[in-house]
Each structure stands twice: as C-alpha cells, then as structure tokens.
Chains A and B, each alone.
Chain A
Amino acid sequence: AQSVSQHNHHVILSEAASLELGCNYSYGGTVNLFWYVQYPGQHLQLLLKYFSGDPLVKGIKGFEAEFIKSKFSFNLRKPSVQWSDTAEYFCAFSPRSGGSYIPTFGRGTSLIVHP
C-alpha cells in the first residue's frame, strides 16, 4: 500500500536553528512529491513540489527539499528558521502513473519555533 512516513511528529527549535524534516514514501514507480504547510488556523498551502528535473527544489520562504530516489526520501530543509515558521508540515506524493492517483499524505510534523 502507498504510504508516507514523516519521522518527526513534533519538533521544537529556537529561532535561527537549522531545520530538517524527514519524509519517506513507499512506491516503486515515478512520483510527484509535495510539501504543504498549514499555519495555525489556516488552510494547507503548497510549500514546494517536485515533478522532474533537478532533485533539489526550492520553495517559498527559504525552504528547500531534496529528492533522493534511491532512498525514497524527500526531506525538507531550512537553514535558519523563524518564529513565523511555526506550523504543521505535510509531506505528500502521488504516482506519476499507475497506483492510486490520489495523493497520499503523511501524518504531519508540528514545528514550534521559539522566539
């Protein structure tokens, strides 16, 4: 079955600390990969996505993610977090063909950044 594993459910950091959120997916074929962010009380919005090409993708607000096909991973990174990055982060994927085309979401990682 298709699944997404987000290793950290809760992360607490101080401002200016570096961030890396793990994401691993289970599917053998080509995939589209996404990170969505949900700020407190708001809806999910796209942070970044990978469809093809350079496996290092840059998103909004200084976030980036690297697709490592051999590890089935798509980890999210930010070199220096801010208090405003406090939010819930969701990793998701959908197979490019075959499989269940509906995106599979991870459980989410709650990030709290202390000022």
Chain B
Amino acid sequence: NAGVMQNPRHLVRRRGQEARLRCSPMKGHSHVYWYRQLPEEGLKFMVYLQKENIIDESGMPKERFSAEFPKEGPSILRIQQVVRGDSAAYFCASSPPVSYDRGIGGGPRGTQYFGPGTRLLVL
C-alpha cells in the first residue's frame, strides 16, 4: 500500500509565478489535509478536503491560495503570484474514513499519514 505521495519534492519559483503542489492520498483514504511548515514554527493547518468538497479552509490565507480535491486525480494546492514569504515546506496528509478503528481512529480526529512534502523556494 503506497503511502501519501506528493510532487514535486522541490519547487523553485520566481516572485509572481504560480506554484502547483500535488498530493495523492493513501489508498482508501478520503480525507486530505494540507499543512505549511516554517522553520521554528511547527506545522500550521491550512485546509481540509474530501472528494469534491472543501470542509475547512480556516487556515488558508484569503488571497492567492486555493485548494481542490477533484473526483478523479490528486489534491492540488495552488499558490498564485508567489512571494518570498511563501517559501516553506508544504505537507499533505490523509486519514482513513471516520468509521475506522471503532469510529475514533479515522477522519480528522484520528491518525494522519503524511507525505514527504514539497519544499517551495521563491526567489
């Protein structure tokens, strides 16, 4: 069972360009989460999605950032007109259905499985 996959692993963009980060969840997982990791700041939640639905985007900046998880294909985190402050590691995680593990181990309250991350550098 392949783990969470993210690509690209490293992405270099110039200010003003667009960055597209992709995430394929583990097989059987229908919940996807995006986090941003800045040095000395730990993980910051950005957005939680299920297939074709954004469930919670409370951690997403209001402008330039968007996310989707289409019916077919990977989840995409899109950053338009990147700025230097967007440079960070972006991690995707997935979790099994809410019903997993007696109803307490799945969904957003349960164990999350992380991908290797995409390290974005904005020049």
Contact = CB atoms under 8 A, between A and B. Distances in A.
Interface string B108-122: 111111111100000
Contacts of A90: 42-43
A108 B44 CA distance: 12
A32 B42 contact: no
Nearest to B46: A102
B111 to A, nearest CB: 6
Residue of A46, A90, A101 with highest tally of chain B CB at under 10 A: A101
A40 to B, nearest CB: 13
B116 A43 contact: yes
Contact of A102 (B4, B33, B40): B33
B108 A43 contact: no
B74 interface: no
Given A46-B111, A102-B45, A96 B104 contact: yes
Interface residues of A, number: 23
A83 interface: no
Contacts of B4: 43
B72 interface: no
B111 A34 contact: yes
Contacts of B59: 102
A43 B109 contact: no
A68 interface: no
B107 interface: yes
Contacts of A17: none
B89 to A, nearest CB: 9
B104 to A, nearest CB: 5
B111 A101 contact: no
A36 B91 CA distance: 13
Interface string A39-69: 0001111100101100000000000000000
Cβ-closest 4 pairs across A and B: A107-B42, A44-B114, A105-B43, A94-B109
Interface of B: 4, 33, 35, 40-45, 48, 56, 59, 91, 93, 101, 104-105, 107-117
10 contacts: A9-B40, A46-B113, A49-B111, A90-B42, A95-B109, A101-B107, A101-B109, A103-B108, A103-B109, A105-B44
